[in-house]
């Protein structure tokens, strides 16, 4: 294949994306299409180093995005009973991809998780958020524990950009992976403020981060925190005025899940400094999720 250019001497971008069948990977592909960025989905499996090397040799990308990994179905509790599969994809597999990209001098934008922290004495609800350099303190679930381990190892790779995603939300409220779609269906919900990631606003930012060749760890959430009840109040106001819900506490929640879940606020000031237009979580929820889905009386 001849080398692509942007019309000047700089080589054109070409993204290689892992996670074709996944939520975030699928959205990234659509975004590349709408932005007319050449991209391909990787066909290799993360745990198979040779298959990844073959993808890179054949496709010759300028940037690689990793939105592949096991997240568990129906939820992360799956990882508690599938520990080897979890390690294979999320630890060994992610390290394979980072290592191969490093050998080729290619930036890897890695969709990671911020569910590796929980509120503690120094980081209380409504207080100081966790920063990029803080040491993960949540090991309650196997999923989170191994994600923290791999993040620690990835720190050593100068070609890796780690994006700590949390409780992702998109404007597609019909998608069962969407945090809002999940909580509106639960019988009971806890009510705890958390950092969250509005994908409609932040996935385009991940593409811009690739263009800027940014690396290192990034809290990849909208600034601030929002509680379950605040989201459900917005849902009632914008979508369904008849919606009602019930709360329960963490102790009661522990009876219906296998592994504890992380609750935290991440400090998003590093991302905000790089992208000053970044909206706070509540502003972003309204602009990207609730306003576009607003039900007017005439449409009900």
Q: Which residues bind ligand NAP (CB under 6 A)?
A: 18-25, 45-47, 67-71, 89, 93, 111, 113, 165, 168, 177
CB of 132 to ligand NAP, least distance (A): 16
Closest approach of Cβ 27 to ligand NAP, in Å?
A: 8
Q: Which is nearer to ligand NAP, 4 or 194 (CB)?
A: 194
Q: How far is the CB of 150 from ligand NAP (least distance, A)?
A: 10
Residue of 6, 11, 103 whose CA lies nearest to 57: 103
Residue 240 CA to residue 251 CA, distance in Å, equals 29
Min dist CB 121 to ligand NAP, Å, is 25
Nearer to ligand NAP, 57 or 300 (CB): 57
Residue nearest to ligand NAP (CB): 22
Q: Which is nearer to ligand NAP, 131 or 177 (CB)?
A: 177
How far CA 118 is from CA of 57, 137, 251, 266, 273, in Å, comes to: 41, 6, 16, 10, 24
Q: Which is nearer to ligand NAP, 12 or 256 (CB)?
A: 256
The residues with which 113 forms a beta bridge, in sequence order, are 165
- How would DSSP label each residue in 131-170? PTTSPP---SSHHHHHHHHHHHHHTT-TTEEEEEE-S-B-
Q: Note the maximum CA span of the chain.
A: 61
Instruction: Tell me the β-bridge partners of 217.
Output: 162
């Amino acid at each position: 294949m001849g080398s692509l250019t942007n019309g000047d001497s700089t080589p054109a971008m070409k993204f290689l994306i892992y996670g074709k069948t996944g939520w975030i990977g699928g959205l990234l592909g659509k975004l590349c299409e709408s932005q007319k960025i050449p991209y391909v989905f990787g066909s290799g499996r993360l745990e198979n180093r040779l298959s990844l090397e073959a993808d890179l040799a054949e496709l010759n990308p300028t940037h690689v995005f990793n939105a592949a990994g096991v997240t568990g179905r129906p939820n992360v509790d799956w990882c508690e009973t599938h520990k080897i599969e979890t390690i294979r994809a999320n630890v060994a597999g992610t390290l394979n991809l980072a290592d191969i990209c490093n050998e080729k001098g290619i930036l890897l934008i890695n969709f990671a998780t911020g569910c590796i922290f929980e509120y503690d004495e120094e980081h209380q609800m409504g207080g100081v958020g966790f920063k990029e350099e803080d040491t993960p303190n949540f090991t309650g679930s196997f999923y989170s524990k191994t994600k923290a381990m791999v993040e620690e190892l990835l720190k050593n790779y100068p070609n890796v950009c780690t994006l700590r995603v949390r409780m992702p939300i998109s404007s597609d409220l019909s998608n069962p992976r969407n945090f809002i779609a999940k909580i509106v269906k639960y019988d009971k919900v806890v009510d705890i403020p958390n950092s969250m990631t509005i994908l409609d606003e932040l996935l385009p930012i991940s593409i811009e981060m690739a263009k800027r060749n940014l690396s290192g760890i990034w809290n990849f959430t909208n600034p601030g925190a929002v509680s379950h009840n605040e989201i459900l109040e917005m849902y009632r106001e914008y979508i369904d005025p008849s919606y009602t819900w019930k709360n329960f506490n963490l102790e009661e929640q522990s009876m219906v899940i296998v592994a504890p879940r992380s609750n935290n606020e991440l400090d998003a000031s590093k991302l905000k400094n790089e992208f000053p237009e970044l909206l706070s979580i509540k502003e972003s929820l309204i602009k990207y999720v609730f306003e576009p889905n607003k039900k007017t009386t005439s449409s009900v």
